[in-house]
Amino acid sequence: MCNPKIAMRDASTIEAELMEISAIADDTMKFDRIVAWCATHPDEVPFAFHVLMGNWKKESAEDDRP
């Protein structure tokens, strides 16, 4: 469960970890790494979905507009 009292790590760190995992060629190893990452960082899973679906970049660009 998400705990609002725990600060999420830097977004670029999370994105870098996810991109590293997505670069793994072997699907079984990639799946194992995803499961391990989710178990290690359960509060960051919703954010990770946004990053992987491409919504994070889109929302960031929209927030930059005056």
Q: Is 49's pLDDT higher than 90? A: no
AA identity, residue 34: I
Q: Is 3's pLDDT higher than 80? A: no
Give residue limits of the domains in the chain. Answer: 11-63
DSSP one-letter code for 42: G
pLDDT at 9: 86
For 28-37, the pLDDT digits (tens) are 999 999 999 9
Please, what is the average pLDDT of the chain? Answer: 80
Please give the model's pTM, rounded to 2 decimal places. Answer: 0.68
Nearest one of 8, 40, 5, 2 to 21, comparing CA atoms? 40
